[in-house]
Structure 1
Amino acid sequence: MIVTMTPNPSLDHTVEVDALRRGEVLRALRSHVEPGGKGVNVSRALAAHGRKTTAVLFTGGVEGGRLTDLLDAQGVSVREVRVAGDTRTNLTLAEPDGTVTKLNLPGPGCGETDIEALLGAVRGACGEGTEWVAGCGSLPPRAPADTYARLVRLAHDAGVRVAVDSSDAALEHCLPAGPDLVKPNREELAACAGTAVPTLGAAVRAARLLRDRGARAVLASLGADGAVLVDEHGAVHGEAPVAAALSSVGAGDALLAGFLAAGGTGREALATALAWGAAATGLPGSRMPAPADIDRIDVVIHPAVDADRVLEEGR
């Protein structure tokens, strides 16, 4: 059982266009709506693979009801905490060459009482057999910056490992609490470590800085360059080439889901994570991969990190 907490979920509306041309009237080729938010996507990917998961999240307004209906249809158990305002709708414009333009709304604000209720719902969801709690995504307006730090302490008090996938102050505040895993992307890793990440070696050094500040392991997603895992055993790099990338939306969430589903530690978990993340990249919009989408043949785990390898720009 893996519990996810998403303080700022969304409805993700993806519109496919032949090309994005500013200032023009565009005719959509196709459109669809999926449940969104990092933790929500982790739960969706787990459910697609038959793994038991509960998504704890804020919901508000008619959009919140639609979000829970969509999750129910995908086999995701939900514990919702209602808040004032409407669950946000994010817009993704997808072009045939894989270029994605994403517009994310801020979401409804919340206060201390709301956060306490959300954390209480996580506590209630952590029953016998819970392996991980994953706190994922941005915090809604006015949420305390230490929200994920409190989640880490709550999970550890319950004897459960905890992963955090966030950024900015929310990520920085959680590190001293000692999360078992943090999963930044390259930009988030650089910002939190306070250093540029132009190479694999720089990514490993930045990840070690996060470990020095309290994270027990760091799984850093690096786009087309794969991911690095840095823990007490050292650093390892892996990658999974994608023949035809359709959308990067949710790929990092699928990567985290695969890592946790495979136990949340070591090279085997990294290989699974890369396979799930690559599969998500090959799907349109924010679809999460199912077992039929996974192909581990091209996953490569390198026995040593090529520290001088320059990372691709814009990833």
Structure 2
Amino acid sequence: MIVTLTANPSLDRTVTLSDALRVGEVQSALAVREDAGGKGINVTRVLTGSGAASRAVLPLDADDPFAAVLRSAHVPVLAVPLPGAARANLTLTDGEGVTTKINLPGVTRGAADAATLIDATVRASEGADWLVLAGSLPPGLADDFYVDVITAVRAAGTAAPRIAVDTSGPALRAVVERGRPELIKPNDDELVELTGTPLDATRPLPEAVLAVARELVPARVGAAFITLGGDGAVLVDSEGAWFGTPPPTRVRSTVGAGDSSLAGFLLADIAGGSPAERVRSGIRYGSAAASLPGTQAPTPADLLPGEVPVRALTL
């Protein structure tokens, strides 16, 4: 079982344009779709669509239309009854796959809401293999909210799940400073922001990413799976580092691709896959997500043909 927590879920509206976005002009849309979004929800959708057991913990008002979208997507959820409708995020995608996102802040949450979410996550995580803490925090929650979740889950018993974190900014910094998660999944920009260390432009990108990631692994986090978009992904852990490149991909929407990469990585992990197999699976699922419109969760049938070469990295 893999449990995910999405503290700031969203209704993702994706508008597909025939041409490039022209700011300040009127354009017609080719299509529009709505998906149940939020990083943890996206991870659960991919996991369950691939046959793995997963449950998404999220705040949900009984009167929120978002509940109907979740049901139609067949997302297994532990709905925490808190007031306020899920935010709506807007994505504009042109014919070349260039994506423009407008994200709303979400419902303001207080200390009582935080405690309720933490209690629900602790209950849901009992006996789980992984707990994924994913996405931005809603207004009102402290930057160290995820640290509080980790502390509570680990204090609940000896069989605590491993912790994976996919967030950014101050929330990620707090986790790295105090939470000691088993896995973080930043992209290269988020890694640079987290460490304050720019990538060395004189090195190939994978080696430059590895050099920065070594500031964190294993001293502060167990492993880092760094996604690089169309350039692939790098895994760094205490035993070594690996880099993989994606198969040829016609990009239609990058929304949720990083979440799908994390889900693919975890699918290989719970299957006992090697580090190279985890990298390969993460890249395959991320590439498949990028080839689909909207915030669709790729299934094994959506995985793209072509090789995903993975090689060991050294500094």
Same fold, TM-score > 0.5, yes or no: yes
Structure 2 unaligned regions, length at least 5: none
Is the 1:68–1:78 Cα contact (8 Å) retained in structure 2? no
Structure 2 distance, partners of 1:243, 1:49, is 20
Deviation at 1:156, TM superposition (A): 3.0
Higher mean C-alpha deviation, range 244-253 or range 257-266: 257-266
Q: Aligned partners of 2:79 and 2:120: how far apart in 1?
A: 8
Tell me the equivalent position of 1:134. 132
Counterpart mapping for 1:78-97 below 5 A: 78-97=77-96
Aligned-partner Cα distance in 1 for 2:46–2:216: 27
Please tell me the residue identity of whatever aligns with 1:99.
V
CA drift of 1:33 comes to 0.2
- Spell out the pairing of 1:1-315 with structure 2 (5 A cutoff): 1-19=1-19, 20-60=21-61, 62=63, 65-128=64-127, 130-157=128-155, 158=157, 159-175=160-176, 176-197=178-199, 198=201, 199-211=205-217, 214-263=220-269, 266-295=275-304, 297-304=306-313
Q: For residues 193 and 36 of structure 2, what CA distance do their matches in structure 1 show?
A: 28
Instruction: Tell me by how many angstroms 1:254 deviates.
Output: 0.2
Q: Residue 259 of structure 2 contacts residue 286 of structure 2 at CA under 8 Å; is this kept in 1?
A: yes
Q: Distance in 1 between matches of 2:248 and 2:61?
A: 37
Give the Å deviation of 1:299. 0.9
Could you list the per-position Cα deviations for residues 216-241 of structure 1 after superposition, in whole angstroms to 9, with x for gaps in the alignment? 10001111111100001111111113
Where has structure 1 moved over 6 Å in runs of 4 or more?
A: none
The question of whether the paired residues in 2 share the 8 Å contact of 1:13 and 1:34 is answered with yes
Q: Residues 181-225 of structure 1: CA distance to partner in whole angstroms, max 9, x if unpaired?
A: 000011111100101124322211221112255111000111111
The one-letter code matched in structure 1 to 2:303 is I
Q: Determine what percentage of the aligned residue pairs are the same residue.
A: 39
Query: Residues 102 and 285 of structure 1: is their aligned pair in 2 closer, same or farther, counting only changes over 3 Å?
Result: same
Instruction: Give the deviation of 1:172 after TM superposition.
Output: 0.8
* Paired AA for residue 185 in structure 1: N
Q: How many residues align?
A: 303
Letter in 1 for 2:125: C
**C-alpha separation in 2, matches of 1:262 and 1:293:** 17
Residues 232-267 of structure 1: per-residue CA shift (max 9 Å, x gap): 111111111333111111000000001111116622
Measured in 1, the distance between the counterparts of 2:245 and 2:150 equals 29
The superposition leaves residues 274-298 of structure 1 with CA deviations (integer Å, 9 ceiling, x where unpaired) of 1111111111111110111113642
Q: Report the Cα offset of residue 61 of structure 1.
A: 7.3
Q: Which runs of 5+ in 1 are unaligned?
A: 308-315
RMSD: 1.7
Q: Which amino acid in structure 2 is aligned with residue 14 of structure 1?
A: T
Secondary structure of 1:11 counterpart? strand
Aligned-pair distance for 1:4?
A: 0.2
Give TM-score, length-normalised by structure 2. Answer: 0.91
Query: For residues 68 and 207 of structure 1, what CA distance do their matches in structure 2 show?
Result: 39
